[in-house]
Amino acid sequence: MTFLIALLSGLIFGLGLITSGMSDPAKVLSFLDLGGRWDPSLAFVMAGAIGAARLPFAWALRQPRSWLGQLMPSAPAGTIDRSLILGSALFGVGWGLSGFCPGPAITSAGAFALPGIVFTAAMVTGMKVFDWQKK
Amino acid sequence: MTIDWTHFSPWSALAGGALIGLAASLLLLANGRVAGVSSIIGELLGPADGNRRWQASFLAGLILAPTLWAGLAPNGLPASDLVPTGPADWSVLIIGGLLVGFGTRLANGCTSGHGVCGLARLSPRSLIAVLVFMAAGFATVFLARHVLGN
């Protein structure tokens, strides 16, 4: 059952990415282009997502277990450290270069779009590089 | 700064965002799991554990979404909605992908894990992550488009 819920959640998530314009790299780059003709639309994606998730999250995280009996995640460990800042900065540069972040990259690859597939392959490689250097 | 009113689409952005928030809420309420795409991919690349099945299922949903959308929408799904405009710049896609992969693992999250789930649970770490990747994104596009020319 948990995998069916996950499949449904992934589907709705992906439809949301497409509906919102978040999966369109050109729109992402227009959103990030404060110095040009700025398209502020994608700020509304975050507003809509957090608006919809805020109360369910607050309620869910006070429950001992999920509907399917799984333990709820504890508050994420770790503090505001160098890894968080440096990692987010590198991510932001890659996002600003390409217009892709991880979710839309997977969705684009799912549509058999070659740029999405190439980006996803490079992203997976970057994740593997991270795993190697951590050892 | 000028606003690009012709492409401004607040309602579809808000509706799509609400779907994303709904999807993340469903995963947390029913499964007790966080819809963070970079962590899901990163953990699938690591050693096998009890999370593999739901993580692979979630990714399968993301992968199938464009096909479902194309089937539901009267006009289908224009390919231009999922790829950069103009001829693809492969070196930019590869460098961007490497940076996004490495950076999101180092920071333990991306636009979904920190930007949606983290902010929805009011995590200070996620707020800092979002401010940093947004600032880096703004700076990168500014440099690429207005300083180095492009």
Return residues 48-77 of B near A (CB < 8 Å): 53-70, 77
Integer Cα distance of B91 and B99 in angstroms: 12
Q: What is the mean pLDDT of residues A105-118?
A: 94
Percent of chain B exceeding pLDDT 90 equals: 81
Closest CA to A72 of A81, A63, A80, A84: A63
CB contact under 8 Å between B93 and A98, yes or no, is yes
Does residue A1 sit in helix, strand or coil? coil
Closest CA to B26 of A67, A111, A20: A67
Whether the per-residue pLDDT at B35 is higher than 90: the answer is: yes
Confidence of residue B71 (pLDDT cuts 50, 70, 90): confident
Phi then psi for A38, rounded to 5 degrees?
A: -85, 130
Q: Is B10 on the interface with A (CB under 8 A)?
A: yes
Cα of B64 to nearest chain A Cα, Å: 6
Sign of the four-CA dihedral B15, B123, A59, B53: positive
User: Which pLDDT score is estimated for B150?
Assistant: 52
Q: Mean pLDDT across the stretch A86-104?
A: 98
What average pLDDT score do residues B9-24 get?
Answer: 97
More confident residue, A66 or B149: A66
User: What's the whole-number average pLDDT of chain A?
Assistant: 94
With cut-offs at 50, 70 and 90, classify the pLDDT of residue B79: low
Average pLDDT of A78-90? 94
Residue of B nearest to A104 (CA): B82
Tokens representing A8 are: 């449904």
Average pLDDT over residues B113-135: 96
pTM of the model: 0.95
Task: Give me the helix-helix angle, B124-142 and A25-32, nearest 10°.
Answer: 90
- The whole-number pLDDT of residue B70 equals 87
Mean pLDDT of A112-121: 95
Considering only residues B46 and B88, tell me which one the structure prediction assigns the higher pLDDT: B46
Q: What is the ipTM of this complex?
A: 0.96
pLDDT at A100 over 80: yes
Chain A residues whose CB is inside 8 A of the B112 CB are 13, 101-103
Q: How far is Cα A104 from Cα B63, in angstroms, rounded to an integer? A: 10
Rounded to whole angstroms, how far apart are CA atoms B104 and B97? Answer: 11
**pLDDT over threshold 70, residue B103:** yes
Q: Which of B62, B92, B121, B128 to mutate to test the interface with A (most CBs of A within 10 A)?
A: B62
Partner residue facing B37 (CB), from A26, A92, A102: A102
Average pLDDT in the A7-17 region? 98
Residue B32 Cα distances to B25, B27, B60, B64, angstroms? 9, 6, 19, 23
pLDDT score recorded for residue A115: 94
Hey, are the CB atoms on A12 and B61 less than 8 Å from each other? Answer: yes
* Interface mutation vs chain A, best among B8, B132, B141, most A CBs within 10 Å: B141
C-alpha dist (Å) from residue B77 to A4, A93, B73: 25, 28, 7
